[in-house]
Amino acid sequence: MMKIVLLGKGKTGSKVMDYSDNVTAFDSSHPARPEDLASCDVIISFLPGPAFESYLPMLIDSGKPVVTGTTACDWPEDIDDQLKNMEVSWIRASNFSLGMNVVRPIIQQFRQLKELYPEGQFSIHEIHHTHKKDAPSGTALSWEEWLNAPVEISSERTGDVVGIHQIRFTSEEEEIELVHKARDRGIFAKGALWAAEMVTGGELPAGLHEFTDCVAEYLNKKQ
């Protein structure tokens, strides 16, 4: 069984402990030290951006595989080269929902609508709980990247919403909408644990990998 060090015991991080029995968790009141990382197999982080950035030097020095769902983070420009030199693999994600990553090619096809209706407009709206600090969400920014077309993004913070993302194309003749609703934070924990299996499995090349690419490659092998 994998030995996991968990950084961040918030609403999502705590779910990791629900699905794995071999987790040592750390948070702001009990921060991890280099010696705490030495004996683990993988590190999973759900820390906010600034906290994760403060951990980055220690994580790199540990030489351990890392799976991180941290968004709003300033990554070192040479992080991929550093990891390759250390022969270690990391996976990062703006959203660890496996279903969300199956949606990616659908969103990429959405941009074809602009060829049929040049006057049409794209919009993305995302809704999260009131404690989420970054806006727009990392997932909304990923959708913008996947769409690769001009799009207006709006954000809403209300209640304890896990996450709702909606992309819409509107023209004079048609309106087309795609919605993804996260019903339980457990989907993010399960996705992170799936990524942890990938990053420790020995088949992933050294370097920094996007979760969406890992899922796509996995699905392509299954076809």
Active site residues: 128, 132
Residue type, 108: Q
Strands across the sheet with 42-45, in order? 23-26, 4-7, 42-45, 66-68, 89-92, 207-210
Closest by CA position to 69, among listed 10, 21, 126, 23? 10
168 C-beta neighbours (distance < 10 Å), count: 17
Alpha-carbon span 95 to 99, nearest angstrom: 10
With contact defined as beta carbons under 8 Å apart, do 43 and 64 qualify?
yes
Which among 97, 75, 79 has a CA at the least distance from the CA of 142? 97
Using alpha carbons, list the distances in angstroms from residue 107 to 60, 111, 166, 176, 195: 34, 7, 11, 11, 22
